[in-house]
Structure formats: structure tokens, C-alpha cells
Amino acid sequence: MALFLSWWQGTSMHGILVAVGSPGQITEIEKNIFSAWRDRLNFHPKHVRVARTSTSLFFSAEMENPVFPGGSASISDSGAFAFAGVPLIDDLAANGKYGADDIAQYLRLGPRRFRQSVASSYAVADVSAERLIAFSDLCGRYPWFYRKSDGIVIVSNVLSLLAENRQRLSARAATSLCVHSQIWGDEIFPGVELLKTGQVLIFDEYGLRTMSLDDDWGWFGAYDIPSVADYETASDRLLQTFKTLGTLVSTKISLGLSGGKDSRVMAAYAVRAGLGDNLDVFTSGIENSPEFEISARVRSVLGVAGREIVGRPANLTAEAYWPSLRAQIGRYKGLLLPVSGSKERFSSNPRIEISGFGGELYRRGIAKQFVTKPIKNIDDACVRWRSYHVPPDVNRVIRDEVVRKDANWMASWVKQKIAEGYDPQALPELFFVSYRVPLHQGIASMASGAKLYVDPLIHPKLQKTHFLFGRFAGEAELTHCALLWYAKRELCSVPFVKDKWHDSLGHIFPQGALAFDSFAAGASDKFIRPFAWEFFSEAKDKVKSTFSAETELFEFVDRSKLNLFLDSDGALKSTAAANQMFTILGLQLHMTGDVEPPKDGPMVSAEILNRGSALEWGRPPL
């Protein structure tokens, strides 16, 4: 038999074929596999690796997304390109073990339900044959989860997709989400295991089990890691992404320009790619926000026009915010990130938006726990990890036992990773990529049909050096700085809001080329961005009524603590407080059914994937 698994990582499609058969069959498959891939997909794969024994064959290849070559995008598709077909479908039918109906059933249950986002993918396969093999991804960063049920094995790197009872899982999954850790494992979900790098999952006549790859497969997990000097190449490829985007979209493209680094990189490459005349550049904030002045300076350097969307406190009442809140919760399936109070004011404008959220991958604040002073021993590392991650229960509404359980899990995770040989200073970034990005940012990106994400820090060329960037504070900013340097170096000297370039970059670039002073040091998000900060105090009665329903939310939220928060002024003191409270409210509304269907948004259709000629408007197939 043979099984072909496929997933997107960035914009590269990765495929693995595992074949088991007689020596003659294996020889024939090995002889034809490359031409089968090339003929069916009409372009050549790269990074091809083949390993075989007399009765088994392992083939791995990577190919770039033809729609966004070399860039990174989150594309809602209909499945036509998500799984490009089994290259050896004729061989499968010819070997007598599978008929056409079996293959059709596999294609229907497996590939057609494949879906991708920046860091989330899953596959469902009907296991009517005697063996199924699934792998963690080639970088070993996104662990696969699995569940066996009634002859079906589900393999996933997003645990929520494995739930037999989605509503129950939504509440239980939020246990860690509400304290900003997003941890999954046997502690919370008995029977769910994580595959380590270099392990495979096998379902055969002996049941469901894992095994490590032997020496014949020893290259598994290896990835060609470029040097930091590859920034120029990465810059060229990112530029090509924007040029390709320009050929696909005939309407205006909106670009939100803030005072930060991500949006500045987006704007620089969009203009350099020739999209300047097709851009609707906007900046949103409250009156007199420093974001307006900074974005005006950036637009001046780039030579593009823009508009300002001013949100005034009078426009951000709880009564006005509630309908938008319920609609957003409907879109996010119960996971709600803070939404700017002014967002509805420009949601009806051009529907394609360039955005980036790569900064979440490289939070210098988290890395500081590990780089400001040497780590003495494993226990020291665990103490630091717990001290950082437990306090984000900023509203003090989570049950004490849940907080303790989460903290203990995190300490165990640190010990496990150090025992596996990871550098302790690399753990913050490993944690972010493994847990926070796929299950927080990834969900947000794939849930919204209104955006195409083109993100420099999720760029395939830069993913490969991920651990190098994350080991020391400041190295991640080299990514932003180098990309700006190649696109429009004058932008490196324009200050940022609330942030600055790290001092370690000073010796890399010419003196005076970088801005080392932030424009509004110490400014809070509450001052800079419009948001319904007084929402919970203004809408106290409505919120209390919503929380009066008994749901599984209260398995991890302490009702008495929640009421204490609401009976106080109920004002959100920080972005972290807003994250937590709106997530809790979103889950409760989702479980009680008090949500509105999300508004229709664009998605990239099979027509674009095949011919690149049109956009189909409709709700993303969540």
C-alpha cells in the first residue's frame, strides 16, 4: 500500500509518500515517483529526499504555492489545491489491494477535508487498510495529535479538531487560553499524545503506536538552514509575493499602517512592488494618537496618500459595541481577539487587506526571562517560566486549581525540553511556535475571510532560521530591519510608537541609520488605539445576565471571582485584561448560542488557485 500526506507550511506544500509492498512494487514506485509528481502538478518539486528498503519506500518533496510563490499567505480555499492528488493513484489501483472505490473514498475523507492556515492544518483518513503512517512536520515544530474512533484515525496539529464534543472542548481548551499559555496534553485531555521530532504514528494490526525512525531514515527532521546573509534573497521573494498579489486583485487593497514594525514592512514592500496607486492606506486611533504622526512620516517617505480613522470615546459605548462583538464572536468560533472600536467604520471599504502579525512569534519580553541573566539549572528555568506565564490571569477570575495545574504543566514542559537537548534560551520561541501561534494567531487568521496575510516573519525563507532569531533579545528585530533596509532603508530611521530598534543592531548598520528612540515611550494601548475599555462597567447588567447561564465555562472560571470583577468598576486596565475578559465572554456567548452569523468576506477560490483570475465572495468554509 501507499499513503500520501500533504500540508502547507508558509506557502510551500510538503508531501510525504510512504509505500509498503513487494520488492518489485517498491522498485517500480521509486522509478516513477518523480515523473508522477511532475506530470500531475505541472511543475518540479524541490528538496526531494528518498529512502528505501527492499519492501518500503519513503519519498519527501517540497514545492512552492504557485499562487503566492516564495511568500506567505493565509488562503481559504475549496480544497482543489490543498491536496493536489495522490501521485501514484494508478499504482495504488494496479497493485490489487485498492480499487477505484477505495481510492475515491480516501480522497473524499482525507484530502478533500484538508485545510490550511499559517500554522494550522489537518488531515482525516479512512483506515480501511492495515496501515496508516503520519509524520510531524519536517521542522519538528508543529506536533501532530491523533484520535482513533470507529476505524478512523484523525491526525492533527490543532487539538480542537479532534473533539468528539466541540462545545465541551471549546470550554476546556480555553482553560489555558485564558491564562495565555495554550497548553495541551495528557494533563488536560487524557489519551492525547504529542509526537516528538523524529517519531512516526502507526496504525496497524497491533493498534495505534509510535516509533522512532531508524538509521536508514536518519535524515528525517533535517532542514536546509540558510545563513542570516540570505536576507537579500528573502527580500526578493517577499517582493515577488506582493507583485503576485497585484496581479490577482483588481479592487483597491487596504493596508492598515500603525506605528509599529510589521505594518511598515508591509507598506514598504507593497509600494516597492508597484501597488502604491492601488493601496487604500489608513491609520486608526483615538484623537491625538501618536500613531497618526508616525504613519504620516512613513507615508511621506513612501510617497503614498492615506487617511485617518479617528475613534472618539463617545463612539465606543457598550451599547454600540455589543452588536459588533456578537458578530465577531460568531466569526471566531468562540475565540475573540480584541477588536478596535473603529473597525466597523471601515469594514465596508475594500475587502482585501494586507496585514501582518509576525511580532507575536518573537516577543522580546518573553525572551528576557531567559537572556537577562544566565540560567543556573533546570529548576531555575522552571521558576522563571512559571513566574512569567502564570501572572497573565490579570483579572484574577480563573480557578486556583486551574492556574496551579497550568503552571505545573509548564514547568514539566521546560524540564522535558531541556532533557531533550534544547537550549533553554530557545524555549520561548519553541513555545510560541508550538502552541501560541497555531492556536491563537493561527485561528484568528484562518477565521477571518477579510484578509490575505503576507507576513515577513512567517516567510518560508525565514522560518528555517526561526530558532536562530529567537535565541537572544534583539536578533528577531534584525529580520524587520534587514527587510526594510532592502526595500526602503530611509524607513529604518523613522521612530516607532512604543518601541525602538534593539541596541544590538547598532554595529550591523551604518551609524545614524536606525532610530533608537521610540516616539511615545511608555504609551499604553489604551491611549493609542480605540477600544471599548469601559465595556464591562458600562454593560454590567447585560454581561451579568449573559454569565448567569450555567455552562462548562465555569469549570475553569471561578464565578465568585468573576462577579467580584463585575461588581467593581469592571474597567479593563490593560490589553492583557481585555484579551482575557473578551475571550471569556466570547466563549460564554458561543456556548449559549447568543451570536450572530459573521458577515460574508472574500476567500480565494479554486478558480484563483487554478488560473489566478477571479475572487469568489462568500463565507470562508470554516
Q: Is residue 618 part of a domain?
A: no
Other Cβ atoms closer than 10 A to 312: 11
270 vs 228, residue with greater confidence: 270
Higher pLDDT, 347 or 274: 274
42 and 153 both lie in a single domain: yes
Please check whether residues 161 and 263 belong to one and the same domain: no
Please say if the pLDDT value at position 39 is more than 70: no
Q: What percent of the chain has pLDDT over 70?
A: 35
Whether residue 308 has pLDDT greater than 80? yes
Q: Residue 495 pLDDT > 90, yes or no?
A: yes
Cβ contacts of residue 566 below 8 Å, gap of 6+? Answer: 536, 540, 543, 544, 547
Percent of the chain residues past pLDDT 90, beyond the cut: 8
Contacts of 206 (CB under 8 A, 6+ apart): none
By residue count, the chain amounts to 622
The DSSP result for 229-282, as a single string, is GGHHHHHHHHHHHHHHHHHH--S-EEEE--SSHHHHHHHHHHHHTT-GGGEEEE
Task: Based on the fold, state whether residues 106 and 87 are members of the same structural domain.
Answer: yes
Would residue 380 count as lying in a domain?
Answer: no
Residue 575 lies in a domain: no
Find the mean pLDDT for residues 239-246. Answer: 69
Q: Are residues 23 and 108 in the same domain?
A: yes
Structurally, how many domains does the chain consist of? 2
pLDDT on residue 119 = 27
Helix boundaries (H) for 378-532: 378-389, 400-419, 427-431, 442-447, 460-463, 466-470, 475-488, 525-528
Report, as an integer, the average pLDDT of 250-267: 81
Question: pLDDT value at position 57?
Answer: 62
Q: Do 342 and 486 share a domain, yes or no?
A: yes
Mean pLDDT lowest among 298-312, 409-423, 433-447: 433-447
Cβ contact 608:67 at 8 Å: yes
Lowest-confidence range among 210-219, 231-240, 290-299, 563-572? 210-219
Note the pLDDT of residue 215: 30
306 and 193 assigned to the same domain: no
* Domain end residue (candidates: 217, 243, 276): 217
CB contact at 8 A, 387 and 345: no
Q: Give the pLDDT of residue 179.
A: 21
Supply the pTM of this predicted model.
0.51
Q: Is residue 211 part of a domain?
A: yes
Instruction: Please give, one letter per residue, the 3-state secondary structure of 338-375.
Output: CCCCCHHHHCCCCCEEEECCHHHHHCHHHHHHHHCCCC
What is the predicted pLDDT for the residue at 330?
54
For residue 399, tell me if it sits in a domain: no
Residue 479 lies in a domain: yes
Strongest mean pLDDT among 207-221, 322-336, 542-556: 542-556
Angle at 363 between CA 272 and CA 377, to 5 degrees: 145
CB-based contact 499:260 (threshold 8 Å) = yes
More confident residue, 514 or 474: 514
353 assigned to some structural domain: yes
User: What's the rounded Cα separation, in Å, for the pair 236 and 11?
Assistant: 15
Neighbouring residues of 530: CB distance < 8 A, sequence distance ≥ 6: 284, 285, 286, 311, 312, 315, 316, 340, 341, 342
Confidence band for 503, pLDDT divided at 50, 70 and 90: confident
CA dihedral 503, 507, 510, 512 (to 10 degrees): 30
Most confident residue range from 67-71, 542-546, 601-605: 542-546
CB count, 10 Å around CB of 466?
23
Q: How confident is the model at residue 493 (pLDDT cuts 50, 70, 90)?
A: very high
What is the reported pLDDT for 557? 82
Asked if residue 444 has pLDDT above 60, the reply is no
Are 61 and 22 members of one domain? yes
> Which of these ranges, 237-241, 272-276, 301-305, 341-345, has the smallest mean pLDDT?
341-345
- List own/partner pairs for 521-525 with CB under 8 A and 24 or more apart: 522/498, 523/290, 523/497, 523/498, 524/574, 525/574, 525/575
Residues 212 and 233 in one domain: no
Name the range with the highest mean pLDDT among 128-142, 234-248, 258-272, 426-440: 258-272
Torsion angles phi and psi, residue 427, rounded to 5: -65, -40
Residue 618 in grid coordinates: 462568500
**What count of other Cβ atoms lies within 10 Å of the Cβ of residue 86?**
22
3-class DSSP assignment, residue 63: strand
**Is 488's pLDDT higher than 90?**
yes
How many whole angstroms separate alpha carbon 92 and alpha carbon 469? 43
482 and 454 together in one domain = yes
Rg (CA), the chain: 25
With cell 491564562, the residue in question is: 179
pLDDT higher for 236 or 568? 568
Residues 83 and 157 both lie in one domain: yes
**Residue that the C-alpha cell 517498491 belongs to:** 26
- Regarding whether 60 and 133 lie in a shared domain, the answer is yes
CA nearest neighbour of 159 among 435, 397, 534, 553: 435
pLDDT tens string 104-134: 343 333 322 222 222 233 333 333 333 333 3
**For 462-487, what is each residue's pLDDT tens digit?**
333 333 333 333 445 776 788 888 89
Cα diameter, the chain: 76
In this prediction, residue 374 has a pLDDT band, given cuts at 50, 70 and 90, of low
- pLDDT averaged over every residue in the chain: 57
**Predicted pLDDT at 53:** 61
Name the nearest CA neighbour of 208 among 126, 169, 163, 151: 151
| pLDDT at residue 98, as a whole number | 41
The whole-number pLDDT of residue 393 equals 72
Question: C-alpha cell of 183?
Answer: 497548553
pLDDT given for residue 406 in this prediction: 64
pLDDT at 220: 26
Residue 371 domain-assigned? no
The residue-averaged pLDDT of 299-326 equals 80
Mean pLDDT of 154-162: 41
Is pLDDT at 345 greater than 60 in this prediction?
no
| DSSP states along 90-116 | HHHHHTSS--HHHHHHHHHHTGGG-EE
Residue pair 332/235 in contact by the 8 Å Cβ criterion: no
Lay out the sheet containing 279-286: strands in order across. Answer: 307-311, 279-286, 253-256, 352-355, 451-453
Query: The CATH number of the domain where 255 resides is what?
Result: 3.40.50
Q: Provide the residue range defining the domain that includes 317.
A: 228-361+442-553+589-603
Between the alpha carbon of residue 531 and those of residues 5, 179, 339, the distances in Å are 43, 21, 7
Q: Are residues 147 and 212 in the same domain?
A: yes
What CA–CA distance (Å, rounded) separates 472 from 339? 31
Is the pLDDT reported for residue 294 higher than 50? yes
